Chain A
Amino acid sequence: MSNEGIGARVLRKEDKRFITGAGRYTDDMVLPRTGYAAFVRSPHAHARIKGIDASAALAMPGVDAVLDGNQLVGDGIGNIICGWMIHSKDGSPMKMGAWRALEPEVVRFVGQAVAVVVADTLKQARDAAEAVVVDYEELPAVVDSLDALKEGAPQLHPEAENNLIFDWEIGDEAATNDAFSKAAHITRMDIDNNRLVPNPMEPRSALASYDRAEEHYTLYTTSQNPHVARLVLSAFYNVAPEHKLRVIAPDVGGGFGSKIYIYPEEIVCLWASKRVGRPVKWTSDRTEAFLTDAHGRDHHSTAELALDADHKIIGFRVNTVANLGAYMSLFSSSVPTYLYATLLSGQYDIPAIYANVKAVYTNTTPVDAYRGAGRPEATYLVERMMETAARELNLSPAEFRRKNFVRQFPHQTPVIMCYDAGDYDASLDAAMKAIDYEGFPARRAQSEAQGKLRGIGMSCYIEACGIAPSKAVGSLGAGVGLWESAEVRVNPVGTVEVLTGSHSHGQGHETTFAQLIAERFGLPTDNVSIVHGDTDKVQFGMGTYGSRSGAVGMSAIVKALDKVEAKAKKIAAHLMEASEGDITIEDGEVKVVGTDKKLSFTEVALAAYTGHNLPEGMEPGLKEGAFYDPTNFTFPAGTHICEVEVDPDTGKVTVVGFVAADDFGKIINPMIVEGQVHGGLTQGIGQALLENASYDEDGQLLSASYMDYTMPRADDVPSYVVETTETICPGNPLGMKGCGEAGAIGAPPAVINAVTDAIGTNNMQMPASPARVWMALQSAGLKQAAE
Chain B
Amino acid sequence: MTTVTMTVNGKTVSGEVEDRTLLVEFIRENLELTGTHVGCDTSQCGVCVIHMDGKAIKSCTTLAVQASGSQITTIEGLATGDELHPVQKAFKEHHGLQCGFCTPGMVMAAVDMINRLGPNLDEATIRHELEGNLCRCTGYHNIVKAIKAAADEMAALPQAAE
Contact = CB atoms under 8 A, between A and B. Distances in A.
A679 B135 CA distance: 9
Contacts of A675: 95, 98, 137-138, 141-142
Contact of A713 (B97, B130, B145): B130
A12 B136 CA distance: 18
A714 B42 contact: no
A3 interface: no
B11 interface: no
Contacts of B133: 714
Given A21-B76, A707-B42, A681 B37 contact: no
A720 B97 CA distance: 16
Residue in A202, A285, A680, A712 with the greatest tally of chain B CB atoms within 10 Å:
A202
A20 B100 contact: no
B79 to A, nearest CB: 6
Residue in B28, B99, B107, B124 with the greatest tally of chain A CB atoms within 10 Å:
B99
A201 B136 contact: yes
Contacts of B93: 11
Interface string B98-128: 1111111001000000000000000110111
A508 B96 CA distance: 12
B100 A285 contact: no
B35 A22 contact: yes
A487 interface: no
A234 B85 CA distance: 46
B32 A254 contact: no
A202 B131 contact: no
B76 A679 contact: no
Nearest to B33: A21
Provide the main secondary structure of the chain A interface: loop
A683 B136 contact: yes
B100 A14 contact: yes
A33 interface: no
Interface in A708-741: 711-715, 717, 719-720
Nearest to B87: A19
Contacts of A713: 130-131, 134, 140
A212 interface: no
A40 interface: no
B142 A201 contact: no
Interface in A12-43: 12, 14-25, 27-28, 30
Contacts of A712: 139
Contacts of A18: 97, 100, 103-104
Contact of B107 (A19, A201, A671): A19
A679 B138 CA distance: 4
Interface residues of B, number: 57
A285 B101 CA distance: 15
B35 A505 contact: no
Contact of A21 (B36, B102, B128, B135): B36
Contacts of A717: 139-141
B35 A23 contact: yes
A256 interface: yes
Contact of A254 (B34, B98, B127, B143): B98
Contacts of B18: 123
Contacts of B97: 15, 18-19
Nearest to B125: A715
A401 to B, nearest CB: 26
A285 B99 CA distance: 19
A706 B101 contact: no
Interface in A276-326: 283, 285-287
A27 B140 CA distance: 25
Residue in B35, B91, B102, B133 with the greatest tally of chain A CB atoms within 10 Å:
B35
A253 B99 contact: yes
Residue in A12, A16, A22, A706 with the greatest tally of chain B CB atoms within 10 Å:
A706
Nearest to A252: B99
A679 B134 contact: no
A713 B139 CA distance: 8
Contact of B39 (A20, A203, A671, A681): A203
Contact of A705 (B35, B40, B104, B126): B40
Interface string A682-724: 1100000000000000000000011100011111010110000
Interface string A167-207: 00000000000000000000000000000000111110000
A23 B28 CA distance: 13
Interface in A409-432: none
B3 interface: no
B130 A200 contact: no
Interface string A482-511: 000000000000000000000001111000
Contacts of B32: 30
Given A12-B95, A15-B91, A201-B99, A20 B134 contact: no
B144 interface: yes
Contacts of A28: 28, 34
A719 B141 contact: yes
Contacts of A720: 139, 141
B116 to A, nearest CB: 16
Nearest to B93: A11
A678 interface: yes
B39 A714 contact: no
A30 B29 CA distance: 9
Residue in B88, B134, B140 with the greatest tally of chain A CB atoms within 10 Å:
B140
A103 interface: no
B92 A15 contact: yes
A253 B134 contact: no
Interface in A505-541: 505-508
A202 B134 contact: no
Contact of A19 (B92, B135, B144): B92
A251 interface: yes
Nearest to B132: A713
A633 to B, nearest CB: 25
A675 B142 CA distance: 7
A678 B158 CA distance: 34
Contacts of A253: 37, 99-102
Given A15-B91, A30-B32, A678 B138 contact: yes
B134 A23 contact: no
A706 B44 contact: yes
B84 interface: yes
Contacts of A12: 92, 95
B110 to A, nearest CB: 11
Contact of A201 (B41, B91, B101): B101
Closest 6 CB pairs of A and B: A21-B35, A18-B100, A253-B101, A682-B139, A506-B99, A706-B44
5 contacts: A199-B136, A680-B139, A711-B134, A711-B136, A715-B131
Interface of A: 11-12, 14-25, 27-28, 30, 123, 199-203, 251-254, 256, 283, 285-287, 505-508, 671-672, 674-675, 678-683, 705-707, 711-715, 717, 719-720, 743
Given A675-B142, A705-B44, 10 more contacts: A17-B100, A19-B91, A25-B37, A27-B38, A201-B37, A201-B135, A678-B138, A678-B140, A679-B139, A682-B139
